């Protein structure tokens, strides 16, 4: 199985962003990516995430969609 994690490197140490995903032992291949000159502002990113919020109850939405197919059975 191949797994991928995201990490930062500070002062020569690898700091994983999700340390709970790292196994107790294993073998790793590390690929260093060029770091962009500037990172996006979290305040700006959070402001654009509002459109991802669910406006309808997923259970009710699924019932409505499935009921459209009831007449075809």
Q: Which residues contact 16 (CB under 8 A, 6 or more apart)?
A: 5, 6, 7, 22
Spell out the domain ranges in the chain. Answer: 7-70
Residue range 38-59, pLDDT digits in tens: 666 777 777 777 666 777 888 9
Rounded distance, CA 51 to CA 61, Å? 17
Spatial CA neighbour of 20 closest among 10, 30, 5: 5
Whose tokens are 């340390």? That residue is 19
Nearest to 4 by CA among 12, 13, 26: 26
pLDDT at 37: 65
Greater pLDDT, 54 or 17? 17
């Amino acid at each position: 199985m191949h797994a991928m994690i995201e990490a930062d490197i500070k002062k020569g140490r690898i700091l994983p962003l999700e340390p709970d995903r790292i196994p107790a032992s294993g073998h790793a291949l590390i690929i260093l990516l060029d770091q962009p000159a500037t990172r996006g502002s979290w305040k700006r990113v959070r402001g654009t995430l509002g459109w991802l919020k669910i406006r309808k109850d997923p259970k009710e939405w699924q019932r409505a969609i499935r009921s459209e197919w009831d007449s075809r059975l």
